[in-house]
Structure 1
Amino acid sequence: MNLRQVEVFRAVVTHGTTARAAEILNISQPAVSKMLQALEHSIGFPLFHRIKGRLTPTAEGQLFFREVEHAFAGLVNLRGAAARIRDYGSGEMRIASLSAFSNNLMPSALASFMAKHPNIAITFQTRMSSVVRDLVSCGQFDLGVVADEIDKTGVECRPFVELRAALAMPEGHPLARLDVVRPADLDGYPFIALSPEDTARQHAEAAFDRAGVKVRTVLETPYTMTICAMVATGMGVGLVDPLTAKMFMGRGLELRPFEPALHFRTMIILPPHRPPSRNVEAFIEELEAAAAVAV
């Protein structure tokens, strides 16, 4: 079986006769018949009922045609991708990011990039850092932004944004009277924590241990945005990055500096053994420019 035989089969089913298929494909009618016979011999079952010179697809032929249509749809997509690559370089870009930047840095960087590169098709997904790492390491995505606790094997890493943690609290909370919050100040207050694997949480727990404080954790989440949302409802207090917390300021949440200094560190990751395209490098520039303004 070869692609030309399959193309002939598709043309006969689509147009109804070998004569019309031959005309469309610009070959002779005997050539059409010969290729159909060769295809049937190759796959091992008849594709058509031949009754009084007319061809009607068999049940198996109809099933095979369905699969052929799927395959040709893929070829159409390949032609489109080739055209985009020819005209615009890499015609698409796939980006994944941790959620902390999905409502601030990413929209700003994407808007700026797309204004300069309107013909690049972009796929953007927000995932946990470990999932982003897996998507990039296997080459499904071209670029990822992750927290620094990920397994760094199998990806190329570049340092990105470092944000000092602040304590988020409901508006009017007793801790809002303090200029700086320290571990001992959290004693007795309900605490909303990041996931245990988060390095910022690990450093926070080390600070609590040094101060002899055992915080009362009421909820765990991998997302600082979720911490902010929960804090704004009055559920408790939590350590967050101030960039994510900005959108909650004035909406039930206050921030205070936290001592000792703790940091959220992030990285840009790229697939291994594959130089980034010009478009990926251009987007990284936009991302870094957005971070320089926001941080």
Structure 2
Amino acid sequence: MNIQHFAAFRAVMMTGTVSGAAEILGRSQPAVSRLLDRLEAELGLALFERRKGLITPTPQAHRLLDEVERAYVSLDSLKNLASRLAKGQGNQVSVAVLPALGLSFMPRVIAKFRQDWPETKVSLNVRMSPTVEEWVAGQQVDFGFAEMPVRRSGFETEIFSNAPYVAAVPSGHELADRSCLMPEDLREGPLISWTPFVAARHLLDQVLVTSGVRIEALCETSLSGAAFEMVKQGLGIAIVDPYTAVLQADERIRLIPFRPAIPFNLALLRPEFRGSPPTVDHMLSFARDLRDDVLARVPT
């Protein structure tokens, strides 16, 4: 497959027009149109609907774009590495982590790491767990953190932690003085829940159903960090991961154990067939140290 064909396709999808793509690529509009025609012929797919000078991407085009973007991530990584090697700067650590660790935990790990390795470039990619798995399996990063259970293969898996989620309650809430919260206590909410796309949502729903508790959440989010901020604003009660709870601790929020415990099963993923340089091992040692410190502060 000719990468120029995909470059033209990607540019059109980004700009929405052939003329915009031509300007980005430094080519004429007819040249870009020919590249698109050749790509469609090569793939045997109609990627665009053409009407009165306008082109509209088909559903197949949007699906293809997802894969093309992944390919470009790999190409960009390859270009950056080649450039750094050419300059004699081969040290780099690339990481992909789920948001629960990407917003507070890993920045602190990186800050500690940089004290010992100030010349090493660090690339922190914050993605949802399925994408983290995909990037590690594709050898695009040195390691990743994702929520278990993992769904792919192609990497080594190590349990990083399994501390439970905790309840975050506004400090002025009537439940703030409780030593622990039970499912029926969440009726006193309002409850801030996860969206259905988050694995923990299904675990919480299962706990509520088993306990015979039915609650309609007034707010939903896919991120513990966002849920935690909503609690700060007094919007209700949330069940959040322990890393977010401890590292974003705030006097406006009381952290309370939740029973029955819902484990936040976190895995360290490392690519198969990829060496582990000292920089990676060093960063992971800081990650484990901070993990131990965080989990020691989780209310039990």
TM-score normalised according to structure 2 size = 0.65
Q: Which residue in 1 is equivalent to 2:195?
A: 195
- CA offsets per residue over residues 15-57 of structure 1, 9 Å max, x none? xxxxxxxxxxxxxxxxxxxxxxxxxxxxxxxxxxxxxxxxxxx
Q: Which residue in 2 is equivalent to 1:175?
A: 175
Q: Is the CA contact (8 Å cut-off) linking 1:166 and 1:242 kept in structure 2?
A: yes
SS in 2 for 1:113: helix
Distance 1:271 1:211, change over 3 A: same
Aligned counterpart for 1:78 among listed residues 82, 88, 110: 82
What is the CA distance between 1:95 and its match in structure 2?
Answer: 1.0
What is the CA distance between 1:163 and its match in structure 2?
Answer: 2.1
Write out aligned runs for 1:96-107 (5 A).
96-107=96-107
What is the CA distance between 1:77 and its match in structure 2?
Answer: 7.2
Distance 2:98 2:242 in 1: 15
Distance 1:246 1:286, change over 3 A: closer
Distance 2:140 2:166 in 1: 35
Distance 1:179 1:192, change over 3 A: same
Gaps of 5+ in 2: 1-77, 296-300
Q: Which residue in 2 is equivalent to 1:237?
A: 237
- CA offsets per residue over residues 93-135 of structure 1, 9 Å max, x none? 2112112123443123212222222221111122222222222
The percent identity for this pair of structures is 26
- CA offsets per residue over residues 147-190 of structure 1, 9 Å max, x none? 11442323221111222211112221121132211011122532
What is the CA distance between 1:83 and its match in structure 2?
Answer: 4.8
Distance 1:108 1:196 in 2: 30
Distance 1:175 1:77 in 2: 53
Gaps of 5+ in 1: 1-73
Considering only CA atoms, is the larger Rg found in Structure 1 or Structure 2?
1
SS in 2 for 1:264: coil
What is the CA distance between 1:76 and its match in structure 2?
Answer: 10
**Pairs aligned (count):** 220
Distance 1:287 1:75 in 2: 28
Q: Which residue in 2 is equivalent to 1:285?
A: 285
Quote the RMSD (CA, aligned, Å): 2.7
Q: Which residue in 1 is equivalent to 2:271?
A: 271
TM-score normalised according to structure 1 size = 0.66
